[in-house]
Chains A and B, each alone.
Chain A
Amino acid sequence: VRGPVKKDPLRPIDLGHVPPAPRSRAAMAMAVRAGQGRFMLQACVRCEAVTYPPRDCCPACWGALAWRDQPQGGRVVAQTDVRVSADIYFRGQMPWRIGTVVLDAGPVAVAHLAEGVVVGDPVRVVQRLDRAGQAAMIALPAEGTYDMSEDRQLRQFTAEPLHRRVLVTDGPDDALHWSGD
């Protein structure tokens, strides 16, 4: 198993910072859908224009918006390596690759880039929850399956336990069989 290199025991431990969390009500609605593993964007019920980032009404005609499943294809038109960040979470993750993706669904989105994805590449865009529980756009190679747990950057969006500390509890037996209220 490739996995990340084991932590240098002399290095200070990760303090568990999370990315910036405050969002609008509309963006929280996207996080709910991203958490369900879906790729949904708002579309206007009147003019059908698809919009991103999440808004309260259609920027083309002011019509009402509804969440719709969308095609996940796209193409990277710009990329950058963020090398310095004022944010305490990203400061510990530099450099961080992001890019601008023209979505087949219509809008243009800033997305986290998978290793090796560069300008001009066709991509498959997924929405995942970041460590703050907010929806994030991630551009993966268009073809094949991509293991985000083996990507230095995108591993942050997974719960892969390899090389991570886990908390083992001796919770009551019924907690293990909890099936929801």
Chain B
Amino acid sequence: MAARAISDPVHLYDCVMPCAGAEAFIVTTPERAEALGLKAAQMRGAIERHNAPSDMHMLQAYDDYPVIVAMQIEDLGFCEKGAVSRFIGKNEFGMQGSLPLNTNGGQLSAGQAGAAGGFQNVTEALRQILRMPLGAQVPGATRALVSGFGMVNYDRGVCSGAAVLEAL
């Protein structure tokens, strides 16, 4: 919090750091995944705004700045618009918490690997629900909400998207 201000009230350590990185997952049919002996998950479809997703086992939200995560928590329907500070105070976001959030530390911990950053949350959600985490495991998790949020400076404005992933 004592770090220098970048753009009030965002300070240095609220900003994602650029890094290099890559990730991949295979898009295929459940039948082929089974034939190859691969664990698989299914996309359960994008959710409608303001449908309270109370049955999600975790949230993997795009995190270039903490405020962007807070905006997604509101707009995905976890709480009313404007009530996110109360929601954060009432919930635990760790692996055992009421809403495990960005369980690999997210980009704010790992860095933003250019365009690969957009799939960072999908990859971590898959690792969690398929029981192949690089770090800690969210107990009993089979369903994850993944959310993306992006903006092109000076021109195209904000784009966002969300999907529910469920282990098969």
Contacts and interface: CB of A to CB of B under 8 A. Distances in A.
A22 B100 CA distance: 40
Interface of B: 4-10, 153-157
A80 B8 contact: yes
Contacts of B153: 20
Contact of B8 (A54, A55, A81): A81
Contact of B5 (A20, A23, A55, A83): A83
B8 A83 contact: yes
Question: Of residues B9, B154, B156, B157, which shows the largest number of chain A Cβ atoms within 10 Å of its Cβ?
Answer: B154
Contacts of A23: 154-155
Contacts of B154: 20, 23, 27, 134
A82 interface: yes
10 contacts: A23-B155, A53-B155, A54-B155, A80-B8, A80-B9, A81-B5, A81-B8, A83-B4, A84-B4, A84-B7
A80 B155 contact: no
Interface in A55-97: 55, 80-84
Contacts of B156: 24, 53, 55
A55 B10 CA distance: 29
A171 B62 CA distance: 57
B155 A24 contact: yes
A84 B157 contact: no
B7 A27 contact: no
B157 A53 contact: yes
Contacts of A55: 156
Contacts of B5: 81, 83-84
A81 B156 CA distance: 23
A84 B155 contact: no
Nearest to B5: A83
Contact of B155 (A27, A82, A83): A27
B24 to A, nearest CB: 29
